[in-house]
Amino acid sequence: MSAPIQSATEPVGDVDAGGCDVGGVRLPRPFKVRRLGHFGYNCEHLDAMLDFYIGGLGFIISDQSGTMPARLPAEEQATLSPNEKLLHFTRFGSDHHQLVFINQKVWDWVGKDNGSAGASINQITWQVGSLAEVVNGAEWIWGRGERLLRSGRDMPGSNWHTYLFDTEGHINELFYGMEQIGWDGLSKPREMWSGVMSERPELPQPSEAREIDTARNTGIQLASGHQPTPDAQPTYPVDGIVMARPFKIVGLGPVSIFVEDLDRAVRFYNEVLGFNLRTEVSWRGHRGALLSSGTEHHSLALYEAGLRTELGMSGRLDSMSLGFRLANYRHLRAAVRFMKDRGAEEVSVPASLVPGFDYVTHLRDPDGNLAQLYYYQRTCAPVDPDPHTVSGDAAQWPELIDAPQDVYGGEQFLGPWE
Ligand SMILES: [Fe+2]
């Protein structure tokens, strides 16, 4: 029998001191993780990884940037292939990037000063509700003595952010305001990348609408950004549409990672980032903890590192799997067939480690990470009673209210507000 997870499952933080005001709702910390926004892999086999995720699973390149690889010494750069000299930002939806690919050698050079060289996860990135939540959250996290990497704003993507380390050295990011890509597929022009910032921003900042107005007035060609190259010829009739592959990925996560000290990691994600423990799992004596930030069954799974070898995975891998939700059950089956036809290996993961799904399977990517494919994950209703409804007479409402258990959960507005 495995030992239970030693962690609080109730919210912790500044509740006793009155809590934090997050949009007029009292919460234990000055931010609330709303959803997984994007994820990054440091890649040993970058060309093959791009083929697996772009050619195979249908991710779309939204931008490629050589800024970070250009920081390597010339002799190091000379060893890189053309793709390795770029960061590849990709998406399946309207968020500018949802999956990012970086060459491992490039990251090892950049990460040697912060101790993250060798990591296979580049970043685990969570959307919070506003720029104020990013900035106030960074200050609160720093005030607790946690390790922050940096705050500011990244380009491409335009999202405001703060980076921090978990107890295992995995880089997490909190962000607001991801650039949204519309029907024309265009990203913002390179000239607009000048908004990059590597320090805590003063608040308030101009809206994106104002930034675009300024760019237009300074003569920047707004339609000069990256345009995706055409996908394969569409030949598959898919639920009424002719598509390039017989399925569509429509959701990202959960993130499943290996940790050396499970109890300590659960405490971090619970107490610092506000995740709640949904359930514990165990297989062959190795424990796992599944956590959620809203009404999803889980968006984060932490597994004891001993599982890595039990599952036949390489010792360099920090990530067990990254979840991809297919549009429906037929798409899920079609995706598995399509990927296996391209040579992907299906890996058996014990069902007891991955509760919350009805049908789920895992494909090994070229670096050895698992792509977790599913179409359905259980949604969990709050366990507390319905909130007491106050209707009308809004002028008499309090400025700061107590939070219903599932506050700020569910569907989110993706991009910047204005
Ligand atoms: Fe990011």
Domain borders along the chain are 28-73+80-183+234-374
DSSP 105-165: HHHHHHHTTTT-TT-SEEEEEEE-S-HHHHHHHHHHHHHTT--EEEEEE-TTT--EEEEEE
Find the 371 Cα to ligand 1 centroid distance in Å. 20
How remote is the CA of residue 126 from the centroid of ligand 1, in Å?
Answer: 9
Residue-wise pLDDT for 377-391, tens only, equals 999 988 888 999 999
Question: Which pLDDT value is given to residue 3?
Answer: 60
Res 2: pLDDT: 53
Residues in Cβ contact with 187 at an 8 Å cutoff, skipping those fewer than 6 apart = 62, 63, 96, 156, 179, 181, 225, 226, 227
Closest CA to 313 of 286, 333, 339: 286
Query: How many A from CA of 241 to the centre of ligand 1?
Result: 32
Q: Does 5 score more than 80 pLDDT?
A: no
Among the ranges given (16-25, 168-177, 261-270), the one the predictor scored with the smallest mean pLDDT = 16-25
Residues pairing with 197 in the sheet = 153
The matching CATH number, chosen from 3.10.180.10, 3.40.50.970, 3.10.20.30, 1.10.940.10, for 28-73+80-183+234-374 is 3.10.180.10
Q: How many angstroms does the Cα of residue 313 sit away from the middle of ligand 1?
A: 26
285 CA distance to ligand 1 middle (Å) = 34
Question: What Å distances lie between residue 57 and 52, 119, 181, 358, CA to CA?
Answer: 7, 24, 19, 21
Query: pLDDT band at residue 196, thresholds of 50, 70 and 90?
Result: confident
Instruction: Summarize the confidence of residues 335-355 as an average pLDDT.
Output: 97
CA distance 207 to 212: 9
Mean pLDDT of 335-362: 97
End-to-end C-alpha distance for the chain, whole angstroms: 53
Distance 343 CA to ligand 1 centre (A): 30
Angle at 94 between CA 126 and CA 22, to 5 degrees: 35
- Evaluate if residue 14 carries a pLDDT over 70: no
Average pLDDT over residues 324-345: 98
Ligand 1 centroid, distance to 125 Cα (angstroms): 6
* Chain segment 109-161, per-residue pLDDT in tens: 999 999 999 999 999 999 999 999 999 999 999 999 999 999 999 899 999 99
Average pLDDT over residues 93-109: 98
Q: How far is the CA of 144 from the centre of ligand 1 (A)?
A: 23
Average pLDDT, the chain: 94
Least Cα distance to 409 among 279, 276, 290, 289 occurs for 276
The model's pTM is 0.94
pLDDT at residue 15 in the model = 45
Asked if pLDDT for residue 10 goes beyond 60, the answer is: no
- Residue 194's pLDDT band, with cuts at 50, 70 and 90, is confident
pLDDT of residue 234 exceeding 50 = yes
120 C-alpha vs ligand 1 centroid, how far in Å? 15
pLDDT of residue 9: 39
Residue 189 Cα to ligand 1 midpoint, Å, equals 19
Distance 239 CA to ligand 1 centre (A): 33
Whether the per-residue pLDDT at 8 is higher than 90: the answer is no
292-301 mean pLDDT: 96
362 beta partners: 347, 372
Q: What is the pLDDT of residue 195?
A: 78
